[in-house]
Amino acid sequence: MNKLLVIQSSLFAGEGQSSKMAEAYAKRWSERFPNGEVIHRDLASDPIDHLSAETFQGFGLAPEERNATQQKAADLSDALIAELRAADEIVIALPMYNFSAPSTFKAWMDHVARVGITFKYTDTGAVGLLEDRPVTVFAARGGVYRGTPNDTQSPLVKTFLGFIGLQSVRFVYAEGLALGPESAEKSLGDAHQQIQALTVGEVA
Ligand SMILES: Cc1cc2nc3c(=O)[nH]c(=O)nc-3n(C[C@H](O)[C@H](O)[C@H](O)COP(=O)(O)O)c2cc1C
């Protein structure tokens, strides 16, 4: 069965603008794949713990060598990676909080980057081990940063996804959401129009 994984991290759950963009795309995806399954990973309502030395070191141990805390973190990490592997397509709803991705999303990144599982090091550099698949990122921001040096969020997310093998990434932006109602309305209108025009099932 075709699967779409939606990863969201807005503090405001379904009311977040990034979540609303992701949902609008998921609706289109479900129309294209009526028998498909949409899986939601809500990092705000179901947050992932920060890594600690203990849990990070546990990732490198064999299961029989891990303590209970390490095993719990490794189980979660394995489940998050399995979720990525099982998805034919991935959507990331990405609010901008304090110039970066939400800390809950960073905790997800920290649990998904696993040497020997999602990436490996070679003589010529790091190689991602996940099979590529389409990823669409819906970025919601109060200000306007796209294409400027202050947009440190997009390169972070793109570099991270590429690092684990996900190269086919596109971004849809709703910016200027804090710059007054007119700016917000225009930006959201443009973004939702763009969503209706996106290819579904591939990143064109
Ligand atoms: C805690 C917090 C920090 C924020 N920091 C920024 C920021 O650094 N830059 C920015 O452009 N907007 C910032 N915003 C505005 C959000 O990017 C904007 O509200 C956006 O809609 C968030 O996505 P969401 O609606 O999906 O939660 C911040 C909002 C919150 C709640």
Q: Give the number of domains in the chain.
A: 1
Interval 82-136: pLDDT, tens: 999 999 999 999 999 999 999 999 999 999 999 999 999 999 999 999 999 999 9
Residue 75 has pLDDT above 90, yes or no: yes
Q: Which ranges of the chain would DSSP assign to H, the alpha helix?
A: 17-32, 53-59, 68-86, 103-112, 153-163, 181-197
Q: Which atom of ligand 1 is nearest to the CA of 12?
A: 27
203 found inside a domain: no
Ligand 1: distance of its center to the CA of 67 in Å? 38
148 found inside a domain: yes
The CATH number of the domain where 23 resides is what?
Answer: 3.40.50.360
Range of the domain at 121: 3-197
73 found inside a domain: yes
202 found inside a domain: no
Is 178's C-beta closer than 6 angstroms to any atom of ligand 1? Answer: yes
123 found inside a domain: yes
Is 162's C-beta closer than 6 angstroms to any atom of ligand 1? Answer: no
Residue 203 has pLDDT above 80, yes or no: no
